[in-house]
């Protein structure tokens, strides 16, 4: 089992999640974070920290399909362990449908 980040995170990046992860397994893209499924120890402490409800256990319906996505980008993007400011349109785009198609960027974030 692992936890995953889904498309509710895209264009948000509140990053409250990264500070609580005991194994530093969040990775930063330009406008989304992912969890490395092979590093996550399933502690679950990050899930309630996410204001966008983007973090789910992979046992939840619909979450399994995000595992490969999280692994793929965790291997490309830099690790992030400190909270930073959310993206400028985070509140406005919170809860919006179709974020993957509309906004997702494969570009890495800065990490940090
Ligand atoms: S708190 Fe949630 S929405 Fe914000 S960066 Fe973390 S996973 Fe993404
Ligand atoms: S479940 Fe625990 S180990 Fe996994 S990403 Fe969240 S805080 Fe990190």
The CATH number, out of the four listed (3.40.50.1980, 3.30.565.10, 3.30.70.20, 3.90.600.10), of the domain defined by the range 3-86: 3.30.70.20
Query: Closest residue (by CA) to atom 4 of ligand 2?
Result: 40
Residue 108 has pLDDT above 90, yes or no: yes
What pLDDT is attached to residue 12? 84
Could you tell me the pLDDT band of residue 71, with boundaries at 50, 70 and 90? very high
Is this model's pTM higher than 0.85 or not? yes
Mention every residue, 6+ apart, whose C-beta is less than 8 A from residue 86: 12, 13, 14, 15
pLDDT value at position 76? 98
The predicted model gives 69-81 an average pLDDT of 98
- Tell me, using a 6 A CB cutoff, whether residue 50 lines ligand 2: no
CB 18 within 8 A of CB 55: no
Compute, in angstroms, the gap from residue 39 CA to the centroid of ligand 2: 8
**pLDDT band of 14, cuts 50, 70, 90:** confident
Question: Which of 4, 9, 34, 41 best tests ligand 2's pocket when mutated (most atoms within 8 Å of CB)?
Answer: 41
| pLDDT given for residue 35 in this prediction | 98
Tens digits of residue pLDDT in 21-45: 999 999 999 999 999 999 999 999 9
Domain boundaries, the chain: 3-86
């Amino acid at each position: 089992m692992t936890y995953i980040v889904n498309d509710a995170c895209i264009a948000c990046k509140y990053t409250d999640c990264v500070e609580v992860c005991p194994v530093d397994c969040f990775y930063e893209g330009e406008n989304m974070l992912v969890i490395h499924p092979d590093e996550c120890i399933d502690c679950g402490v990050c899930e309630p920290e996410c204001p966008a409800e983007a973090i789910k256990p992979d046992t939840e319906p619909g979450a399994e399909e995000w595992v490969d996505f999280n692994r793929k980008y965790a291997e490309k993007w830099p690790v992030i362990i400190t909270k930073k400011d959310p993206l400028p349109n985070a509140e406005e785009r919170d809860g919006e449908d179709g974020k993957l198609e509309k906004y997702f960027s494969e570009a890495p974030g800065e990490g940090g």
